[in-house]
Amino acid sequence: MKRTLKISLLILMVILQLAVPLYMIKSHQITLQEGQQFKFKAAPVDPYDPFMGRYISINLEERSIPVEDIRQYRSGKTIYVALENAADGYAKVSGISFNRPNNPAYFKTKIAYIQNTFGSPMELDTDNLNPIPGKVFFVIPFNRYYLPENLAIKAEKDWNKVLTSRNNEVFITVRIHQGNSAIENVYISGELIVDYLNKVDG
């Protein structure tokens, strides 16, 4: 009886271990297929460590939002970031909340850190009853873009240089679906990053 129970528990553990990555893969595929597309401007990675293994680290210009009172927020707190498309065609953060928004274009993430209006880290003043305006910076959940192995060295050498060049417009397209997010493509000067890197010498 005990042997049968142990075998059953072992089989259940194996099934669960397989189910989690399969669910994540399926969720990623659904997001890419059915999600709404948004376009984000890429920003240089700081500190400089953009390349990890076979992927490049992605940073965005649009990674914060002004708030009326920073005391309502804490680093590490789960939030929902609502998006909209601005007039220039790029994604814009339209709001953050602690509850799932009615707007279908949102992703779930965590607060990275908070700054006051002077750009300083938040310092609580319990005696001050007035709102303290500032900015909430959030963790970017879609911060990795995987590349073919043959392009890895080129990406490692050129990524931050490309981002800081005024001659290059670098942006990513992301699909958003029911709070999930997935990078679709990375573009450099209107070209897919794979095509761009294939043209780079050495």
The CATH 2.40.50 domain(s) of the chain lie at 37-61+142-202
Query: What pLDDT digit, counting tens, does each position of 121-138 carry?
Result: 555 555 667 788 899 999
Cβ-Cβ contacts under 8 Å for 36 (sequence gap 6 or more): 104, 105, 175, 176, 177
- The reported pLDDT for the residue numbered 23 is 45
In 3D space, the residue among 157, 161, 113, 119 whose CA is nearest the CA of residue 137 turns out to be: 113
Rounded CA separation 175/97 (Å)? 20
Tens digits of residue pLDDT in 123-181: 555 566 778 889 999 999 988 888 877 776 677 666 767 777 766 688 999 999 888 88
Angle at the Cα of 27 (from 26 to 30), degrees rounded to 5? 85
Q: Considering the entire predicted model, what is its pTM?
A: 0.74
pLDDT-based confidence at residue 50 (cuts at 50, 70, 90): very low
Q: What is the pLDDT of residue 152?
A: 67
**CATH entry, 37-61+142-202, from 2.60.40, 2.20.110, 3.40.50, 2.40.50:** 2.40.50
Express as a percent the part of the chain with pLDDT over 90.
30
- Three-state DSSP at 117 gives coil
